[in-house]
Structure 1
Amino acid sequence: MNTDAALLAELHRLRRAVPEISGAVLAAVDGLLVAGDLPGIDPHHIAALSAAGLGIGGRFAELVGHGPLRESVVRGADGSVVVYPAGEEAILTAVVRPETDLTRLHAEARPAAQRLGALWDAVRQPTVATAIPPATDPDAPLATRTPMATLPAGLWSSPRSPGHQ
C-alpha cells in the first residue's frame, strides 16, 4: 500500500471509530493539504487554518507553562473542530457534530494522529542535496522543494543578474 492510500485509510478508520466525525484532514505544519476526508468543505482551507490554529494553541500552552499542546478545540453552535499535532511535521484536524463526546474523540484521535504523523514523517525525511555540477545554471528553478540548509555552500556567492537582491 502506498503512503497516500495508507494516510486515507487511517483517516477513514478514525471516522468509522467515531461516527460523529463529519470529516478529517491531515495537513503539513506549513498548512499544505496532505490528505483529506472532508465532504462538502474545501480541505485546503481547513489545512491552512489548522496550521495557524495549532501554532496559536501551541504558543498559548507554552506561554502559560502548560507543556506541549495535546489538542486545540474550537466549539461552535453546530459542532467543534479539533486539531491535534501529528508527529513532527503534520496536523490532524477532526470536524465533529455537537453531540460528540470529546473524551472519546481524544481517545481515538490522539493515537490516530501518532500513526498518521509517523507515516508522514517517514516520507518527509529531507533529502541531502548534492553539489551542483559546474554546467548547471544556478538561476534555474529547483526541481523539488529543497530545505535551504541543504543547499551547497557558496551557491549564491557569484554575482547575480540584475533584479536579484
Structure 2
Amino acid sequence: MDADTMMGTELQGLRLRRPEVAGTVLAGTDGLLISSDLPPTDATHLAALAAASFGLGHRVADTVRQGEFRESVLRTASGAVVTYPAGRNALLTLVADGAADLEALHADARAVARRTGSVLDTRRPVAVPPMPEAPAPLAARTSRGGLPRRVTHHTWRRPPI
C-alpha cells in the first residue's frame, strides 16, 4: 500500500470510528494541504490556519517550558477544531461537532496522527528544482537616505522666453 492510500485510509477510518468528526485535514507545518475530506476551498484555508495555530501553540509551549506541544483545541458554540502534530512536518486537524467527547477523540486522533506522521517522515522528499539566479541587485541607498542621483549633462539650452 502506498503512502497516499494509507493516509486516506487512516483518515476515513477515523471518520468511521468517530461520527462526531465532521471533517479532517492533513497539512504540512508550512500550511500546504496534503489530504482532506472537506471542500477544497475550506481545506486550503483550514490548512493555513492550522499551521498558524500550530506555530503559535508551539511558541507558547516553548515559552512556558512545560514540555512539547501536543494539540491545539479551539472550542466554538457548536463544536471544536483540534490540531495535532503528525510527525516532524505535518499537522492533523479535525473539525468536530458539539457532541464530541474530546478526551476519547484525543486518544484516537493522536494515534492516527502518529501513524500518518511516521509515514510522511519516511517518504522520500520531492526533488526541489534549483533556484534561478538572482537578478542584479537594486540600487543601494546613500548615506543621505535617498537613491544615488543620476547626473546628466545636457548639451542644449532652454531658449529664452
Normalising by structure 2, we get a TM-score of 0.77
- In structure 1, give the amino acid aligned to 2:128: R
State the alpha-carbon separation in 1 of the partners of residues 137 and 2 from structure 2: 43
State the alpha-carbon separation in 1 of the partners of residues 25 and 68 from structure 2: 21
Counterpart of 1:111? 111
- In structure 2, give the amino acid aligned to 1:95: V
Q: Compared with structure 1, are the counterparts of its residues 161 and 38 closer, same or farther at alpha carbon in structure 2 (3 Å cutoff)?
A: closer
Give the paired residue count: 139
- In structure 2, give the amino acid aligned to 1:37: D
Moved more, 59-68 or 25-34: 59-68
Normalising by structure 1, we get a TM-score of 0.75
Matched, 1:96 2:96: yes
Counterpart of 2:128? 145
State the alpha-carbon separation in 2 of the partners of residues 9 and 99 from structure 1: 24
- In structure 2, give the amino acid aligned to 1:16: L
8 Å CA contact 1:8–1:37 kept in 2: the answer is: no
Runs of 5+ unmatched residues, structure 1 = 128-143
Residues 23-34 of structure 1: pairs in structure 2 closer than 5 A:
23-34=23-34
Counterpart of 1:136? none
Of all paired residues, the percent bearing the same amino acid is 44
- Report SS of the residue matched to 1:25: strand
Runs of 5+ unmatched residues, structure 2 = 140-161
Residues 44-55 of structure 1: pairs in structure 2 closer than 5 A:
44-55=44-55
- In structure 1, give the amino acid aligned to 2:42: D
State the alpha-carbon separation in 1 of the partners of residues 135 and 101 from structure 2: 60
Counterpart of 1:35? 35
Q: Deviations over 1:99-121 (max 9, x none)?
A: 10000000100010000101111
- In structure 2, give the amino acid aligned to 1:115: R
8 Å CA contact 1:54–1:72 kept in 2: the answer is: yes
Larger Rg: 2
- In structure 1, give the amino acid aligned to 2:38: L
Q: Deviations over 1:78-118 (max 9, x none)?
A: 11000000000110000000110000000100010000101
Counterpart of 2:136? 162
Over the aligned positions, Cα root-mean-square deviation in angstroms equals 2.5
- Report SS of the residue matched to 1:68: coil
